Amino acid sequence: MMKEYLQQQVNIILDDKMREKLNFYCKFLLEENEKYNLTAIIDVNEVWNKHFADSILGSVAIPSNATVCDVGSGAGFPSIPLKIARDDIDITLVDSLNKRIAFTQTLCNQLGISANFYHDRAEDFARLHSEQFDVATARAVAPLNILLEYTAQIVKIGGLVVAYKTDLAEVDVAKHAATLLGLQFEKHYDFTLPDGSKRAILVYKKVKPTPKAYPRGQNKPRKQPL
């Protein structure tokens, strides 16, 4: 069913090798979760629906051969399922918790997946990697105006920020932040996941440089949102 779903929604065809990797991912995630509390989702079907299918839906917004930075990558969502389904992309994972980076490094080593890993806060990473990526992704990280501040700096001019949200409700609230950060709301894609829940993929294009003051340090994006 998952194979048919992804083919219909985003024209991704999961072959046997991809499904084998995702099966290993699911098993490893649930095993390691008992030690490290990586996800609240512990049912196999829910992992496939709410983590794997959901992550891969973002493929619809990612250009061929893109360099993709996953900010707040957690247990590897969305970047690792995207890489499994789209081997053409180059992925970089950034997370502030070392246990999550250690998990994703071990997972990728086991699966033979090439990726870059950074144990760092998003704002610190952005200062050192300004305008280096074609795409920044973020899933379950923060409200949209905060998420945009964390991601805008690292994207090249003409590049994209791809945000995973439930709907379009936050777009109006984030208008000021987007303008200030040099981003322009381009489009959105609406999906219904196999379990019936809703997903919106929001796409912002970077149309001018993000001021060097952003993202702000000392947790200001969360304490004083734009």
Phi, psi of 84 (to 5 degrees): -65, -40
**Res 212: pLDDT:** 95
Going from the C-alpha of 168 to that of each of 61, 119, 187, 190, 200, the distances in angstroms are: 16, 31, 10, 9, 7
**Res 40: pLDDT:** 84
Tell me, letter by letter, the H, E, C secondary structure of 138-203.
Answer: EECCCCHHHHHHHHHCCEEEEEEEEEEECCCCCCCCCHHHHHHCCEEEEEEEEEECCCCCEEEEEE
The two structure tokens encoding residue 29: 């995630």
- Mean pLDDT in runs of 10 for the chain (226 residues)? 89 94 95 86 87 95 98 96 97 96 96 97 95 94 93 98 94 96 97 92 98 93 92
pTM assigned to the model: 0.94
**Res 181: pLDDT:** 98
Phi, psi of 96 (to 5 degrees): -85, -10
Q: What is the dihedral of CA 136, 147, 8, 68, to 10 degrees?
A: 10
**Res 89: pLDDT:** 98
**Res 218: pLDDT:** 87
